[in-house]
Structure 1
Amino acid sequence: MHATCGIDWAEDHHDVAVVDSEARLLGKLRISDDAAGFQDLLRLLAEHGDRSDDPIPVAIETSRGLLVAYLRASGRRVYAINPMAVARYRDRHAVSRKKSDHQDAVVLANILRTDAALHRPLPSDSDLVKAIAVLARAQQDAVWDRTRAHNRLRSHLREYYPAILEAFAGKRERLLAREARAILAIAPTPGEAAQLSHARLRSAVTRAGRQRRIAAETDRLLEVFRRTWLRQPAVVEKAMGRQTLALLAQLDAACQACDDLARDAEELFLQHPDAEIITSFPGLATLTGARLLAEIGDDRARFSRAGDLKAYAGSAPVTRQSGKSRHVAHRRVKNSRLAATGRHWAFAALTASPGAHAHYNRRRDNGDRYHAALRNLFNRMLGQLHHCLTNHQEFDEAIAFGQRTRSPLTAAA
């Protein structure tokens, strides 16, 4: 590389440094976070040999934002360097531990000058995958927000309203069920719940979408609400009911965001040519496939080997060895979104694929715990996915697991 560029990113300005192959500082500049600042950056790069057919590579501490988007659109290689890695490189140039934005920009430029081969440039994903990633990650964030909102509401209800928790204790969705939220909206206190008429409660249950056994469910709920429960003082109970309505509004908003974003993410995902291959795998539905594609992208040069993808997902183990000591453990530094999606995928594959179930059972028989066996299954199926995407072919159970796909009943017959 004849020259490399480092950018120390900040919220409203960015420090830029350009160095040559001998580590000499060619130029430095502080630019604003707008179109004018980007033009200043391009002029600085052009002064030091930047050309359309040979653009100067750039190292920066983030992979997102308008500046990164414009740098990628210019056709140059952009390297997102972890700030923790930058801190360790900083000690190579100064032992005094001094720090400045300009110095960090120089460190970033020198990282590319010396160790560019050890770092990955940002992938050249299509715009469609980038859009899918925005929606899939937002939907995943909304799911986590929904879980937090549910836990806050449940914790609050335990202090004064055990009847509503008892009424939906046997439901899979608990307070996330539409019936539970509909009842809380009209009866945020146990006193109001006990005074509900059969007709009003039946209307709420019907409005929530229930279509079968409406009368029986209404009778069951009334019986629970009219039992004798411990109660807070009336004025305190009323105040806590007002807080419940506020928490319920947050939960309703999170549930609506989950549904809307899931629908939009699935619609975009089905437009991608890789969607048919991804959803051919057992346990991968449309939304889970969208999350998976959002994290691995469609740049085939990004993961040249299946092992690279497995390490990125955290499914491949990591070995720490020194002398006679050797320890193999699961990776903690990974793409957390991809790892979370992998757990859901592996769990769903247990009932969707005989081969996956047999592989999981073998791992458990060999001493793996539940999560370790699921992670191993995810690791294997991730390698299969890498092969299918690389060779443009759909999943085949017989090829993926061979003769091991036979169920115990079939083998016994």
Structure 2
Amino acid sequence: MSLTDTTPTRPAVTAGIDWASDNHAVCVLDPDGQVLARQTVAHTAAGLRRLTDVLERHQVTAVGIERGDGPVVDALLGTDVTVYVIPPQQVKNLRARYGSAGNKDDRFDAYVLADTIRTDWRRLTPLVLDSDTTTALRKLCRARRDLVAHRVAVANQLRAHLSTAMPAAVGLFSDLDSAISLRFLTRFTTQDDLDWLTPKRLATWLTSAAYSGHTSAQTLHARITAAPRGATGGHGHALAGITRAYLACLQTITAQIQTLAKQIADAYDAHPDKPVYAALPRVGTVRAARLLAEIGDARGRFPTADSLTCLAGVAPSTRESGKLRIVSFRWAVDKQLRDAVCDFAGDSRHANDWAAQLYNRARARGCDHPHAVRILARAWLDVIWKCWTTSTPYDPANHRALQNILNKDKTDDAPTAA
């Protein structure tokens, strides 16, 4: 199917594919729900060719699958079938339609997928893929975020190690994984090294390291002498080997994070959707690139702003039964998208009066910080969706809600006539 064609038609013959690491179960149904074929194909080039042959032989027009990327989906998109993605959690709930046992079976799940497409195709949205440029940018952003999480984990391990090996180094600088802190730990690895330091020697070393902080050498030296003493002698030298191992990991991870950040910046600068996000408040390069990558550039995925806010998990989930009405946190969402949107929204309030007002009103109603950020993120997505669908850069001067607040502030501040 075309990557931009999102108009579904009633499928004549449907198929379901239960994805696995080595083999994929396939089930083909006719319009009445009768099984036409059951196959198991290997996750190989030959197996995927066999899969497409089965679909073409039975003239399958729609396929249900549990994930929307990978070699199987690439093979399906090379044919004329319409692909529908049904998440695993939804498939788990759908099993109850065919029995109460709820047992997991690959062949049965393939049937459930095929039958769901056959009966509920009107409620489902065909898979629409982002461009290769956007997909690559998304992978770069997610890889960088994973490395940042690894850096935090290694820094925590180093901090725990230093609390017994060399406690004075833990709180010496603002961040343990900062460039100056890592350089200090590379030069002074034991308590014996710290004992050698004097305010004058420390000042000389800070100058050689181009230390740009505002803390004097005397203050830093006082922190060293006030801290508990670490291991000395042979024991200290043995623990220094562990320190160097953690430092090597941190330095390698940090270097790779910087390399990915450069690749992200280059890919973002070359992306045609960059102007849509570039003017958002306090968005920066990496944050804007992540927003762009997670939202994507396939406009057909989100026909309305609500469809985007629901997938991002910033719209609540409402359940009603009789007189009972429950509004709760939405769990079944794209967590990467939610994290990207909330990360942006939470910081935007520091540079945008409209965002600050929405956030403060939510807090005044008793919402905690995460809830208030989600409320703000939902409002921002309405704005972003409008800019995104029209390929219009965000312009604060055209943001009516923001301008109303700014104009009201000017009116309030104007001197009154005598």
Q: Residue 14 of structure 2 contacts residue 117 of structure 2 at CA under 8 Å; is this kept in 1?
A: yes
Residues 115-264 of structure 1 mapped to structure 2, 5 A cutoff: 115-168=120-173, 171=174, 174-196=175-197, 205=206, 210=211, 217-227=216-226, 229-232=228-231, 234-264=233-263
Measure the CA separation in 2 of the matches of 1:260 and 1:394.
28
Is the contact between residue 360 and residue 373 of structure 1 (CA under 8 Å) also seen in structure 2? yes
**TM-score, normalised by the number of residues in structure 2:** 0.87
1:113 is displaced (CA, Å) by 1.2
RMSD between superposed Cα atoms in Å: 2.6
- Structure 2 residue identity aligned to 1:119: L
Deviation, structure 1 residue 406 = 4.4
Structure 2: which 5+ runs fail to align? 1-10
Deviation at 1:197, TM superposition (A): 7.5
Partner of 1:278: 277
Q: 1:37 to 1:344 in 2, by over 3 A?
A: same
Provide the secondary structure at the position in 2 that maps to 1:111: helix
State the percentage of identical aligned residues. Answer: 32
Residues 12-411 of structure 1: pairs in structure 2 closer than 5 A: 12-50=22-60, 56-74=61-79, 76-168=81-173, 171=174, 174-196=175-197, 205=206, 210=211, 217-227=216-226, 229-232=228-231, 234-400=233-399, 401=401, 402-406=403-407, 408=409, 411=412
SS at match of 1:121: coil
Cα distance, 1:254 vs structure 2: 2.2
Is 28-37 or 326-335 further displaced after alignment?
A: 326-335
How far residue 200 of structure 1 moved from its aligned partner, in angstroms, is 7.8
1:3, 1:21 within 8 Å by CA — same for their partners in 2?
A: yes
* Larger deviation, residues 200-209 vs 369-378: 200-209
Structure 2 distance, partners of 1:341, 1:307, is 17
How far is 1:387 from its partner? 0.6
Could you say which residue in structure 1 is the equivalent of 2:5?
A: none
Q: 2:346·2:373 contact (CA, 8 Å) conserved in 1?
A: yes
Task: Evaluate the alpha carbon distance shift between residue 3 and residue 201 of structure 1 in structure 2; reply closer, same or farther with a 3 A threshold.
Answer: farther
Secondary structure of residue in 1 paired with 2:38? strand
Kindly tell me: are residues 73 and 238 of structure 1, through their superposed partners in 2, closer, same or farther at Cα, counting changes over 3 Å?
A: farther
Deviation of residue 233 (structure 1)?
6.3
Question: Is contact 2:52-2:76 (8 Å) kept?
Answer: no
SS in 2 for 1:92: helix
SS in 2 for 1:41: helix
Structure 1, 95-104 or 123-132: larger mean CA deviation: 95-104
- Taking the aligned partners of 2:341 and 2:112, their CA distance within structure 1 comes to 36
- Which secondary structure does the structure 1 equivalent of 2:350 belong to? helix
CA contact (8 A) 1:5 1:19 kept: yes
| Gap change, CA 1:161 and 1:307, over 3 Å in 2 | same
| Corresponding position of 2:7 | none
Aligned mates of 1:193, 1:78 — CA distance in 2: 64
Over 3 Å counting, the alpha-carbon distance change for 1:198 and 1:352 in structure 2 is same
Q: In 1, are the aligned partners of 2:191 and 2:232 still within 8 Å (CA)?
A: no
2:168·2:229 contact (CA, 8 Å) conserved in 1? no
SS at match of 2:170: helix
Using structure 1 for the length normalisation, give the TM-score. 0.88
8 Å Cα contact 2:137/2:293 also seen in 1: yes
1:326-350 superposed Cα distances (whole Å, 9 cap, x missing partner): 2323323322222222222123212
Secondary structure of 1:64's match? coil
Letter in 2 for 1:230: R
Which secondary structure does the structure 2 equivalent of 1:78 belong to?
A: strand
Match of 1:53 in 2: none
- Cα distance in structure 2, aligned partners of 1:136 and 1:277: 18
Structure 1 pair 227/372, CA: closer, same or farther in 2 (3 Å)? closer
Unaligned runs of 5+ in 1: 51-55
Cα distance 1:207–1:311, how it changes in 2: closer, same or farther (>3 A)?
A: farther
| Cα separation, 2, equivalents of 1:185 and 1:223 | 20
C-alpha distance in 2, partners of 1:201/1:76? 69
Distance 1:24 1:364, change over 3 A: same
